[in-house]
Amino acid sequence: MYDVLVVGGGPAGISAAIYLQRFKLKVIVIAKDFGALGQSTHIENYYGFEQPLTGKQLIESGLAQAKRLGVLVNFGEEVLAINGSEPFIVKTDKAEYQAKVVLLATGMSRPSLRVKGFTTLQGKGVSFCGICDGFLYRNKRIGLVGSGEFMLEELDVLKNFSKNITIFTNGEPLKVKVNEYAVITEPIIELLGQEMLLGLKTSNNQFDLDALFIAARTPTASDFAVRMGAFVTPKNEIEVNHLFATNVPGLYAAGDCTGGLLQIAKAVRDGAEASLAINKYLKPKTS
C-alpha cells in the first residue's frame, strides 16, 4: 500500500513526488512516456538553465533527481484504470497498486479522429467514457475505436450494456485479443449524422451505429477523473480547489490537466502546492 501514487512523470508529478518523499511518505510515480513536453525541442524560458534544452532532457533530469532522492519511479508503465475510493486500486499494463491518495499529473491532451463529423457529433452519440454513457445505449449498436489495452478496458465496461459491439482500429493493427467481437481494421473516413450519430464510413464500407466510444490512445487525466466521479469542465480540465483536491476524497490533480497557464513553471508550482495539501490530508491517517 502506497501513501501516494502519482500518475505522470512531468514537472507537476515529479515536483510533488520529491516533496512527498521528503515528508517521509511512501510514494510511487508511474509514467508511460515523456508526454507532450517531451516533444518540445527548444526551451529557454525556464529558470536556472543558461542554455536552451529539450523537453525530453528536462524530464530526464527531473526523473533522475527524484530517483536520487529515493522516489520509486516506474517509467514506461501505462495506467489503464483507477477504481474505487480510498484505498484506490490502480491498474496498469504491468501490475496493480493500492494507494491512499492518487495525484493526476499527466498533462493535457484530447483524442481526435480527424474525420468529417467528429466535432459535430461529440455528445450526440460520440463519447469518451463507457462508464459515463454506456448505460444510455443498452442493447444498441455500439462502435468502439481503439486497438490496445485502453480499448480493452472500455470493452469490458461496454459489454455489460450491449452484445452488439463492433471494434474499429482505424487502420491500426489490433494489439489485444477481443474474442467474439467483430473487428474492422479499415481507416475511418467519416462519421454520419447531424443531430445524432447514425453510423460511420470506413475506406470500404458503411456501418450503422447508435453510439461510438473513443479509446484510441493513452487515457488522460480527465479520463480517469470522469470515471471516478470527479468534475471536469467543458474544456476537459479537471476541477480542483485551492488545495488541488477534486470533489473525490483522496483524488488530487496538478499541472496542465487542471488548466490555467500551460507553462512548466506553473506545473512545478502546482506539484509543490498539491504535495503540501496531500501531506496535511494524510497526517491523521498515517499518525
Question: Where do the domains of the chain lie, and which CATH numbers do they carry?
Answer: 2-109+219-286 (3.50.50.60), 118-214 (3.50.50.60)
**Which range is least confidently modeled, 24-28, 31-35, 92-96, 162-166?**
31-35
Specify the higher pLDDT residue, 153 or 108: 153
Q: How far apart are the first and last CA of the chain?
A: 16
Residues in the chain: 287
Q: Which residues of 161-182 are buried (b: 16+ CB within 10 A; e: fewer)?
A: bbeebbbbbbeeeeeeebeeee
10 Å CB burial of residue 223 (0-12, 13-18, 19+) is: buried
| CA neighbor of 104 nearest in space, from 281, 267, 284, 276 | 267
- How far apart CA 183 and CA 244 sit, in angstroms, is 41
What pLDDT, on the 0 to 100 scale, is given for residue 111?
58
3-state secondary structure of 110: coil
Predicted TM-score (pTM) of this structure: 0.77
Question: 187-223, pLDDT tens digit by residue?
Answer: 999 999 999 999 999 999 999 999 999 988 777 888 8
Is residue 255 left, alpha or beta, with left meaning phi > 0 and alpha meaning psi from -120 to 50?
A: left
Instruction: With a cut of 70, say whether residue 53 has pLDDT above it.
Output: yes
DSSP string of 201-247? Answer: EESS-EEE-SEEEE--SPPPHHHHHHHTT--B-TTSPBP--TTSB-S
Contact by Cβ (8 Å): 190, 116? yes
Contact by Cβ (8 Å): 112, 128? no
Question: 10-24, pLDDT tens digit by residue?
Answer: 999 999 999 999 999
